[in-house]
């Protein structure tokens, strides 16, 4: 699973090992005061990595674990040396709980997010924010009204390559950008990765999407982060092997951005390779990310001839969960994903699915 492997590597690097280095230099030689959290839902495939990260931070205490499947809550509460609870009110009413990490199935997000916002809890919510654009916007509004810290799992914003490209787009070093392409694919259906514990992720009624939305949301986020809002979309999203019945396994979308750029987005679970993850082409510059390496050509920067990997990159950020935890302890200036942006990705992805079903262009509203 390319997306999961990359994320696990990133969590491992910025989590357990990185945190040990971050906290080892404290002058007092003592661990910082713990801030208390609850893990609300343990269904997501990234739960094991998040649990490792939470355990690695000396400033984090996980007081409660909840899941609608009691056995799952008990399992992860044991890992975190915390208490499994059946009544969510214990979490919402406990003033010691500063924030929650929501890793429940997507169709449970709205109820949990609205309750967390009402209780004034900071929240990390695994992507996507919601099942529909309408529900996601209602969640975003509630989060913003509550004035709590929030982010979601768009970890690709944290990579040095993407941070560099964001900077170059902002400086105009691509000239007029005519087209962008994003791709995020792996062989999950071919390998049966969702056959057992994570079967719900291949059920669009629970996950909201299939393969295209699951992986595509990451690169959609990057494309919109770089290019801005979307005007309209059309897509071809389909079942390939039928392993997960009517769950889509592959797709390609065409995007018209409001700034005039044309984009394409590919995502799926039936690819044996996915070497080119991002491409940006403009009148004065060109970038391609091939097997994780950036090849960049522009006359605006000396040495950027596109012939060899470009390595003069900014320092990356820790993974989003780390950034969330840092923000709760008061660290300023962190690149959290605003709730409105998390919601807008769901709105656009929903339009892509609608366009595929109707075989037409759909205007994003």
Measured CA to CA in angstroms, residue 218 lies from 157, 181, 185 at distances of 9, 13, 11
Q: Give the closest residue to 113 by CA, choosing from 319, 339, 321, 337.
A: 339
Phi, psi of 251, rounded to the nearest 5 degrees? -170, 160
Number of other residues whose CB lies within 10 A of the CB of residue 354: 14
At 24 the pLDDT is 40
**Cα separation of 208 and 193, whole Å?**
18
At 22 the pLDDT is 53
Same fold, 2-155 and 156-315+339-363: no
CATH class of the region 2-155: alpha beta
At 11 the pLDDT is 40
HSE-CB for 222 with a 13 A CA cutoff: 31
At 240 the pLDDT is 98
**Cα separation of 353 and 234, whole Å?**
8
CATH class of the region 156-315+339-363: alpha beta
Number of other residues whose CB lies within 10 A of the CB of residue 13: 13
Q: Where are the domains of the chain?
A: 2-155, 156-315+339-363
At 29 the pLDDT is 57
CB-based contact 190:270 (threshold 8 Å): yes
Q: What is the pLDDT along the chain (365 residues), one digit of tens a residue?
A: 334 334 434 444 444 444 544 554 444 456 788 999 999 999 999 999 999 999 999 999 999 999 999 999 999 999 999 999 999 999 999 999 999 999 999 999 999 999 999 999 999 999 999 999 999 999 999 999 999 999 999 999 999 999 999 999 999 999 999 999 999 999 999 999 999 999 999 999 999 999 999 999 999 999 999 999 999 999 999 999 999 999 999 999 999 999 999 999 999 999 999 999 999 999 999 999 999 999 999 999 999 999 999 999 999 999 999 999 999 999 999 999 999 999 999 999 999 999 999 999 999 99
Three-class SS of 257-298: ECCCCEEEEEEECCCCCCCEEEEEEECCEEEEEECCEEEEEE
**Cα separation of 353 and 345, whole Å?**
13
């Amino acid at each position: 699973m390319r997306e999961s492997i990359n994320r696990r590597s990133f969590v491992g690097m910025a989590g357990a090992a990185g945190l040990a280095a971050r906290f080892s230099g404290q002058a007092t030689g003592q661990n910082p005061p713990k801030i208390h959290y609850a893990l609300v839902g343990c269904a997501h495939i990234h739960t094991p990595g998040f649990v490792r990260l939470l355990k690695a931070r000396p400033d984090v205490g996980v007081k409660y674990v909840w899941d609608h499947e009691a056995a799952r809550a008990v399992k992860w509460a044991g890992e975190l040396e915390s208490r499994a609870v059946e009544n969510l009110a214990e979490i919402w009413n406990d003033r010691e709980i500063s924030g929650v990490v929501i890793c429940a199935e997507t169709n449970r997000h709205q109820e949990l997010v609205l309750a967390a916002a009402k209780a004034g809890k900071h929240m990390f919510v695994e992507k996507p924010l919601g099942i529909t654009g309408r529900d996601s916007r209602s969640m975003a509004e509630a989060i913003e009204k509550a004035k709590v810290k929030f982010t979601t799992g768009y970890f690709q914003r944290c990579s040095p390559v993407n941070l560099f490209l964001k900077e170059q787009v902002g400086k105009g070093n691509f000239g007029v950008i005519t087209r962008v392409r994003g791709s995020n694919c792996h062989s999950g259906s071919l390998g049966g990765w969702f056959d057992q514990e994570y079967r719900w992720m291949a059920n669009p009624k629970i996950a909201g999407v299939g393969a295209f939305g699951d992986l595509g949301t990451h690169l959609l986020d990057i494309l919109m982060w770089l290019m801005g809002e979307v005007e309209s979309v059309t897509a071809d999203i389909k079942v390939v092997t039928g392993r997960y019945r009517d769950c889509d396994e592959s797709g390609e979308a065409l995007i018209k951005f409001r700034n005039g750029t044309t984009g394409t987005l590919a995502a799926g679970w039936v690819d044996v390779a996915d070497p080119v993850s991002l491409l940006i082409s403009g009148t004065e510059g060109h970038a391609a990310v091939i097997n994780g390496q950036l090849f960049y050509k522009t006359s605006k920067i000396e040495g950027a001839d596109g012939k060899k990997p470009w390595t003069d990159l900014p320092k990356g950020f820790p993974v989003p969960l780390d950034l969330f935890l840092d923000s709760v302890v008061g660290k300023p200036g962190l690149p959290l994903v605003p709730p409105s942006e998390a919601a807008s990705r769901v709105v656009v992805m929903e339009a892509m699915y609608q366009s595929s079903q109707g075989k037409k262009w759909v205007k994003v509203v």
